[in-house]
């Protein structure tokens, strides 16, 4: 059977397929429901009742890409997830967007081999780590939000409370007991109740995270041997990097995380600016926070940290 290329424009309800042969002729196009059984039915129709295993299927990165690429892999297909920014940048007709055109652009670009930014799809263990960390981050933000809301309310009424003070239940109760006004007590209790629920979820997720990290125990120990790196930072690093073998060297990891220095080198002029801030903002924040621990004079990395600071001040 002749080789085929498939472009897929994915949406929550329906997805549009465009299929080309090696010569670039469109041999089939169809809109189907974004359901596993409907997608499999279309792929079997394309192969005359059988799946054409190994066929490349291109799609943009997005919320649907992870589960869909896993499903297509289970059918023996070859899903290729392309960074949506590259797909848009290489579109030939800007401002003429349609589901058919998007699927066609992906399919034709796949056939011509023009796409370079292929998105990494993690395995189930790494994906579970990502899900736990994402949920924990959500509840941490809820905790912080309730603390900030309570602080704002109290300060507006002439009562000053430090953020650190409200990170323990006994301090919340002490603070509520010291408020004289009935309305303020009622509202402070509302914030406290939500904070208690959120902090409980954070602790539950941290226990779940420890179990999910058991297959990576050796890597976690190595990462945590670095001063300033704790369990959450190590877990975030493992979850985001996934398979380290996919990087040629450490400089690629630096670029992937967005810690590489931006560079402008053209017309005989060379300038360096701030970091690129590409990739995972969460991992970048964790690594920067860990690096800030070197400010402590007792930290073994403090001499190196101070040398870097002196260079920045010059």
Q: What's the pLDDT at 115?
A: 94
* Residues 238, 219: Cα–Cα separation, whole Å: 8
Helical axes 281-292 vs 250-257, angle rounded to 10°: 110
Average pLDDT of 192-197?
96
How confident is the prediction for the chain on average, in pLDDT? 90
Please state, for a pLDDT cut of 90, what percent of the chain lies above it. 58
Is residue 107 within 8 A of residue 20, CB to CB? The reply is: yes
- Please check the confidence at residue 268 and state whether its pLDDT lies above 60: yes
Is residue 181 within 8 A of residue 153, CB to CB? The reply is: no
How many Cα atoms occupy the beta-carbon half-sphere of 262 within 13 Å? 7
Give the bridge partners for 265, in sequence order: 270
Read off the pLDDT of residues 68-110 as tens digits, 9 standing for 90 and up.
Answer: 999 999 999 999 999 999 998 888 777 778 889 999 999 999 9
Read off the pLDDT of residues 33-54 as tens digits, 9 standing for 90 and up.
Answer: 999 999 999 999 998 888 999 9
Average pLDDT of 181-193?
91
- Please check the confidence at residue 25 and state whether its pLDDT lies above 90: yes
Q: How sure is the predictor about 1, in pLDDT bands with cuts at 50, 70 and 90?
A: low
Closest C-alpha among 121, 111, 93, 116 to residue 55: 111
Average pLDDT of 118-126?
91
Q: How sure is the predictor about 138, in pLDDT bands with cuts at 50, 70 and 90?
A: very high
Read off the pLDDT of residues 276-301 as tens digits, 9 standing for 90 and up.
Answer: 888 888 999 999 888 888 888 888 88
Is residue 58 within 8 A of residue 112, CB to CB? The reply is: no
Q: What's the pLDDT at 277?
A: 87
Q: What's the pLDDT at 313?
A: 64
Q: What's the pLDDT at 194?
A: 96
Residue 112 CA, distance from chain mean position: 29
Is residue 62 within 8 A of residue 10, CB to CB? The reply is: yes
* Residues 203, 34: Cα–Cα separation, whole Å: 36
Q: What's the pLDDT at 163?
A: 59
Average pLDDT of 129-139?
95
Is residue 119 within 8 A of residue 81, CB to CB? The reply is: yes
Closest C-alpha among 205, 172, 177 to residue 191: 172
Query: Domain segments of the chain: what residues?
Result: 4-112, 124-211, 231-313
- The contacts of residue 239 (CB under 8 Å, 6+ apart) are 122, 126, 129, 130, 133
Angle in degrees, CA 9, 11, 15, rounded to 5? 50
Q: In what order do the strands lie in the sheet with 78-82?
A: 26-33, 14-21, 4-10, 56-60, 78-82
DSSP state of 62: S
* Residues 72, 78: Cα–Cα separation, whole Å: 7
- 4-112 maps to CATH 3.30.420.40: yes
Q: What's the pLDDT at 311?
A: 74
Average pLDDT of 185-201?
95
- Please check the confidence at residue 147 and state whether its pLDDT lies above 70: yes
- Please check the confidence at residue 310 and state whether its pLDDT lies above 70: yes
- Determine the length of the chain: 314
Q: How sure is the predictor about 265, in pLDDT bands with cuts at 50, 70 and 90?
A: confident
Q: What's the pLDDT at 133?
A: 96
Q: How far is CA 188 from CA 18, 20, 147, 160, in A?
A: 57, 63, 10, 14
- Please check the confidence at residue 314 and state whether its pLDDT lies above 60: no
């Amino acid at each position: 059977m002749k080789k085929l290329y498939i472009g897929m424009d994915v949406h929550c309800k329906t997805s549009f397929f465009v299929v080309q042969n090696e010569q670039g002729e469109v041999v089939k196009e169809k809109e189907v429901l974004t359901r596993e059984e409907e997608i499999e039915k279309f792929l079997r129709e394309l192969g005359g009742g059988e799946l054409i295993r190994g066929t490349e299927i291109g799609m943009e990165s997005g919320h649907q890409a992870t589960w869909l690429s896993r499903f297509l892999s289970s059918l023996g297909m070859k899903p290729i997830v392309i960074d949506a920014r590259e797909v848009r940048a290489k579109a030939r007709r800007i401002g003429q967007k349609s589901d058919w055109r998007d699927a066609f652009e992906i399919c034709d670009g796949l056939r011509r081999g023009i796409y370079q930014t292929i998105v990494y799809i993690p395995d189930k263990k790494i994906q579970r780590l990502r899900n736990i960390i994402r949920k924990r981050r959500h509840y941490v933000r809820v905790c912080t939000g309730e603390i900030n809301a309570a602080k704002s309310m109290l300060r507006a009424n002439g009562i000053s409370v430090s953020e650190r003070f409200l990170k323990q239940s006994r301090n919340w109760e002490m603070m509520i007991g010291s408020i004289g006004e009935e309305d303020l007590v009622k509202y402070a209790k509302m914030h406290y109740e939500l904070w208690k629920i959120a902090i409980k979820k954070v602790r539950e997720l941290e226990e779940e995270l420890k179990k999910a990290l058991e297959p990576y125990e050796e890597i976690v120990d190595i990462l945590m041997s670095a001063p300033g790196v704790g369990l959450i930072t190590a877990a975030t690093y493992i979850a985001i990097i996934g398979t380290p073998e996919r990087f040629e060297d450490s400089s690629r990891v630096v670029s992937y995380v967005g810690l590489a220095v931006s560079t402008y080198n053209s017309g005989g002029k060379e300038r360096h600016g701030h970091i690129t801030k590409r990739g995972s903002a969460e991992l970048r924040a964790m690594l920067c926070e860990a690096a800030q621990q070197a400010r402590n004079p007792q930290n073994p990395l403090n001499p190196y940290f101070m040398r870097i600071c002196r260079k920045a001040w010059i």
